[in-house]
Amino acid sequence: DTGVSQNPRHKITKRGQNVTFRCDPISEHNRLYWYRQTLGQGPEFLTYFQNEAQLEKSRLLSDRFSAERPKGSFSTLEIQRTEQGDSAMYLCATTGPQTNEKLFFGSGTQLSVL
């Protein structure tokens, strides 16, 4: 058990609907990352936070994607007007303040857009 919790584990939605995922980090971790992983591929960086500040967002990420981390604790990732191409595993990972520290991953949220 890595201590990073993601909910829900699975989400099935119809195209055009909005979905929201939640990540609860290990309590002392102030850096939080969101990744997307499709079958047979590596995790693709989406965005990351240091405490409540969103420091970088992937240029590949459309405006339909938004993430928040109020109060520097849990984080949410919202996808508006979902498309079939959004179907993927969405991973959350957290770590301490230094960039040389290892990431602790959650089990992910598997999104299927029908």
Question: CB under 8 A: which stretch of 14-22, 64-72, 76-84, 95-103 binds another protein?
Answer: 95-103
- Pick from 40, 63, 70, 84: which binds another protein (CB under 8 A)? 40
Name the residue nearer to another protein (CB basis): 32 or 82.
32
How many whole angstroms separate alpha carbon 41 and alpha carbon 77?
Answer: 21
How far lies 91's CA from each of 18, 23, 26, in Å?
18, 9, 14
Beta bridge partner(s), residue 45: 35
- Pick from 21, 48, 65, 90: which binds another protein (CB under 8 A)? 48
Residue 51 within binding range of another protein, rule CB under 8 A: no
How many whole angstroms separate alpha carbon 92 and alpha carbon 94?
Answer: 7
Question: CB under 8 A: which stretch of 10-18, 21-29, 75-83, 104-112 binds another protein?
Answer: 104-112
Pairing of strands 109-113, 88-95: antiparallel
Residue 103 within binding range of another protein, rule CB under 8 A: yes
Residue 106 within binding range of another protein, rule CB under 8 A: yes
Residue 26 within binding range of another protein, rule CB under 8 A: no
Q: How many residues does the chain have?
A: 114
How many whole angstroms separate alpha carbon 91 and alpha carbon 21?
Answer: 10
- Pick from 23, 67, 79, 93: which binds another protein (CB under 8 A)? 93
Beta bridge partner(s), residue 109: 90
